[in-house]
Amino acid sequence: EPEVTQTPSHQVTQMGQEVILRCVPISNHLYFYWYRQILGQKVEFLVSFYNNEISEKSEIFDDQFSVERPDGSNFTLKIRSTKLEDSAMYFCASSDRARMGYTFGSGTRLTVV
């Protein structure tokens, strides 16, 4: 069964450093998403991406965040200057044209120290 692949599985970074979280969505999917889950809290929507541009973003997705699809297969989330409160599990997801087949990756646990 097709999978969404996320790397790394765990990233530790110092406050103020830039991090890039990587995702390889399912190849024939058209919609791409990032969600995050702070420990003990809800899974929260960050951003959706379609046709090489952001289609929707939440209040969490401020100027410190950016997304990119650099080469037609990878989908990345960049945090420019990490804060302690950015520590969370970050999930990438992709969906097909009908937006009924959301597939999530296994997540990247980001720890900011």
Residues that bind another protein (CB under 8 A): 4, 6, 31, 33, 35, 41-45, 48, 50, 55-56, 58, 91, 93, 95, 99-100, 102-107
CB of 96 to another protein, least distance (A): 12
CB atoms closer than 10 angstroms to residue 111: 13
Q: Are strands 75-79 and 65-68 parallel, antiparallel or unpaired?
A: antiparallel
Of 45 and 65, which has the nearer Cβ to another protein? 45
Kindly report the number of other CB atoms within 10 A of residue 92's CB atom.
27
User: Given the complex with another protein, which of 66 and 109 has the nearer CB atom?
Assistant: 109
Identify the bridge partners of residue 107 per DSSP, sorted by sequence position: none
